[in-house]
């Protein structure tokens, strides 16, 4: 290995050298993550019409993942009760903040599940007003701007009635099970 003014050369098999920029490597090692999805990801050049969002939970998942605000990593928060699953991909809009101190939540309608930590382009079509533990915690309802099945929707009223009922029921079930969990915990821990 040779040092060339901040760059290191490593001899690989044969006569070729792989050049590593030491400044880049050392700057990456000082941070807990390469880029924080909440603070470092741009909201997007087309915002507010089309915006970036980071998916925390894939469509069909019973696992509730959540952004760890310190590290920027996605962590398991809990597994949902009964057979409740996320009806669509769920995440947040970077560089935003809601009254609860978290980034603004978004449910993104699209055909396929997306892996946690992936970001995509979305368009808001509606809002689901919600209160969580006494604080406003509204959910943006959006469509993936790059999904041919959903990108044509511009208003939540255009969705088929069953799809709208499915979304509403999901949030009602989540609230119900969260309240049951809080009440059960309170009753047994006195």
Overall average pLDDT of the 108-120 stretch: 97
Q: Supply the pLDDT for residue 103.
A: 93
Cα angle for residues 45, 56, 147 (degrees, 5° grid): 55
Q: Supply the pLDDT for residue 32.
A: 54
Instruction: Please give the structure tokens belonging to residue 143.
Output: 């469509």
* pLDDT tens-digit series, residues 82-95: 788 999 999 999 99
Q: Which one is predicted more confidently, 104 or 182?
A: 104
Residues 6+ apart with CB under 8 A from 44: 50, 51, 52, 121
81 is catalytic: no
Residues 6+ apart with CB under 8 A from 142: 53, 106, 107, 108, 109, 122, 123, 124, 125
Overall average pLDDT of the 1-14 stretch: 48
User: Rounded CA gap, 101 and 25, in Å?
Assistant: 33
SS3 for the chain, per residue? CEECCCEEEEECCCCCEEEEEHHHHHHHHHCCCCCCCCCCCCCCCCCCCCEEEEEEECCCCCEEEEECCCCCCEEEEEECCCCCCCCCEEEECCCCCCCCCCCCEEEEECCCCCCCCCEEEEEEEEEECCEECCEECCEEEEEECCCCCCCCCCCHHHCCHHHHHHHHHHHHHHHHHHHHHHHHHHHHCC
- Entry field: residues in the chain: 190
Instruction: Please give the structure tokens belonging to residue 134.
Output: 């006494």
Overall average pLDDT of the 96-105 stretch: 89
Domains of the chain as residue ranges with CATH: 1-30 (no CATH), 51-188 (3.90.80.10)
| From 65, 81, 86, 185, active-site residue | 86
| Residue 9 confidence (pLDDT) above 50 | no
* pLDDT tens-digit series, residues 150-167: 999 999 999 999 999 999
Q: Supply the pLDDT for residue 10.
A: 46
| Residue 19 confidence (pLDDT) above 80 | no
Q: Supply the pLDDT for residue 133.
A: 75
Q: Supply the pLDDT for residue 80.
A: 83
């Amino acid at each position: 290995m040779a040092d060339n003014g901040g760059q290191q050369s490593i001899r690989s098999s044969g006569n070729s050298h792989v050049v590593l920029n030491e400044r880049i490597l050392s700057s990456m090692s000082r941070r807990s993550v390469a880029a924080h999805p909440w603070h470092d990801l741009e909201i997007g050049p087309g915002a507010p019409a089309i915006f970036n969002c980071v998916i925390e939970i894939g469509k069909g998942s019973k696992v509730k993942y959540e952004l760890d605000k310190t590290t920027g990593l996605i962590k398991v928060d809990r597994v949902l009760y009964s057979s409740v699953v996320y009806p669509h991909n769920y995440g947040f809009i970077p560089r935003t903040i809601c009254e609860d101190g978290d980034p603004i939540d978004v449910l993104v309608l699209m055909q396929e599940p997306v892996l946690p930590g992936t970001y995509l382009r979305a368009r808001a079509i509606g809002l689901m007003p919600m209160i969580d533990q006494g604080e406003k915690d509204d959910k943006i309802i959006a469509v993936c701007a790059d999904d041919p099945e959903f990108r044509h929707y511009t208003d939540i009223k255009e969705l088929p009635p069953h799809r709208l009922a499915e979304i509403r029921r999901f949030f009602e079930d989540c609230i119900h099970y969260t309240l049951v969990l809080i009440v059960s915990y309170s009753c047994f821990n006195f």
